[in-house]
């Protein structure tokens, strides 16, 4: 118990770890967007991923770099645009001359029980505390969705992730009330509507819509949903402004890669406190998570179970059988012991409880064994590849209206 400094990239079993300090460094949503949200259909020329090909997904290297699409009936998301999916040589970059815009960085710390997970919080760079385990809010609609959220809250979850695009913000507000919890006890993360990157008025309208849906006057963590939305420098500056106005407590990004994070840093802008990105045992992104560690950015794991698409297909199934645990439990425990913030999603209350991954630790040998699972597999075939979009494409303009 208590507060300790820990390295993001490794978290030893039983709560023992080596300390490491980080260096200084619309009032209404468009009906067509709401319709797309409800149907959860992949749209746009940036990545129409066929459901039938989801198991194959995208072949990528462990670093996350895209090689090619497999089984996608329409590969226009990448074909003919290979120049857009390049990585920059970040090693050659020099820091901006003026670092005064960056707040004094503090070491990331975990507080709570010795075993990472429920009941633990991580202190973000500016001092806010984020629960280490959360519930993904996408798809948690209607009565079933509210039941799953209430079950999570009653089990001790205190972080819920959502987005205006998910169309579940109202369910989350209602579920917090149903669970009898005050708003201040639940850490809510939501995301800017991608089409709102068009102007400051649209950004503010998107946030107002989220605040009304969530029945609150502030958001704990507000994220840029995807770099492909464009005008990142301008929109990121607006998010910092919204934080200063007290409408959001912390700000971050989602689906960003090293090149895009470096782009923000080289522009002299404050670094995000959180990057929500698809990281799991089959896609470990060591280059991205190492960059997070260097700059004091929390890794929030979107799709920490790879949407179940690798279950029964790797050595994790064997290890789960040996330990008498589910593959889901092992994948989430791996994320927690790495010092990440996983946000598994389920509309099944029983699975929500199992996803807490309580009551066991993974040994160093087991963590090493799980490191060998990394194949770069992407389960989110529309959003995840965007972390390789060239910074020049998204920094100052909107690359494509979709």
| 166 among known catalytic residues | yes
Contact 233, 396 (CB under 8 A): yes
Residues 234 and 258: their CA atoms lie apart, in Å, by 19
Crossing angle of helices 364-371/327-337, nearest 10°? 100
* SS3 call for 114: coil
- Of 11, 22, 17, 18, give the one whose Cα is nearest residue 336: 11
**Cα dihedral 174/177/179/182 (nearest 10):** 140
Catalytic residue among 166, 218, 222, 291: 166
Contact 248, 221 (CB under 8 A): yes
Which is it for strands 109-111 and 121-123: parallel, antiparallel or unpaired? antiparallel
Q: How many CB atoms lie within 10 A of CB 398?
A: 16
Contact 63, 376 (CB under 8 A): yes
Task: Kindly list the distances between the CA atom of residue 230 and the CA atoms of 66, 83, 89, 147, 195, in Å, as whole numbers in the listed order.
Answer: 20, 17, 21, 36, 9
Residues 344 and 77: their CA atoms lie apart, in Å, by 27
Residues 383 and 380: their CA atoms lie apart, in Å, by 6
Q: Active-site residue numbers?
A: 166
């Amino acid at each position: 118990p208590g507060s300790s400094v820990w390295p993001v990239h490794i978290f030893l079993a039983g709560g023992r770890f080596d300390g490491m300090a980080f260096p200084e460094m619309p009032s209404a949503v468009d009906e067509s967007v709401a319709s797309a949200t409800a149907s959860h259909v992949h749209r746009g020329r940036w990545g129409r991923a066929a459901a039938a090909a989801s198991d194959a997904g995208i072949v990528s290297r462990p670093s996350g770099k895209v090689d090619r699409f497999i089984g996608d009936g329409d590969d226009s998301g990448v074909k003919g645009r290979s120049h857009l999916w390049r990585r920059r040589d970040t090693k050659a970059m020099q820091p901006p001359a003026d670092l005064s815009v960056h707040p004094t960085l503090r070491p990331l710390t975990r507080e709570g029980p010795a075993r990472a997970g429920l009941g633990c919080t991580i202190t973000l760079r500016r001092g806010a505390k984020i629960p280490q385990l959360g519930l993904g809010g996408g798809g948690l609609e209607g009565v079933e969705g509210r039941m799953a959220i209430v079950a999570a809250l009653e089990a001790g979850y205190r972080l819920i992730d959502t987005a205006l695009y998910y169309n579940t913000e109202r369910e989350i507000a209602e579920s917090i009330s149903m669970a009898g919890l005050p708003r201040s006890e639940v850490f809510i993360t939501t995301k800017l509507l991608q089409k709102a990157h068009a102007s400051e008025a649209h950004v503010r309208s998107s946030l107002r819509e989220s605040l009304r849906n969530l029945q609150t006057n502030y958001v704990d963590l507000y994220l840029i949903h995807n770099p492909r939305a464009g005008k990142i420098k301008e929109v990121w500056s607006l998010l910092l402004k919204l934080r200063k106005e007290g409408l959001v407590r912390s700000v971050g990004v989602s689906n960003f890669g090293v090149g895009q994070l470096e782009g923000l840093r080289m522009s002299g802008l404050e670094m995000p406190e959180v990057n929500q990105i698809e990281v799991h045992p089959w896609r470990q992104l060591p280059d991205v998570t190492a960059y997070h560690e260097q700059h004091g950015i929390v890794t929030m794991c979107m799709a920490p179970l790879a949407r179940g698409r690798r279950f029964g297909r790797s050595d994790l199934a064997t290890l789960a059988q040996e330990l008498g645990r589910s593959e889901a439990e092992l994948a989430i425990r791996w994320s927690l012991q790495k010092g990440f913030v996983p946000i598994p999603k389920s509309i099944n209350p029983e699975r929500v409880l199992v996803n807490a991954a309580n009551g066991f630790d993974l040994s160093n040998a087991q963590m090493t064994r799980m490191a060998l699972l990394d194949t770069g597999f992407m389960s989110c075939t529309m959003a995840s590849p965007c972390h390789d979009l060239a910074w020049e494409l998204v920094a100052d303009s909107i690359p494509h209206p979709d």
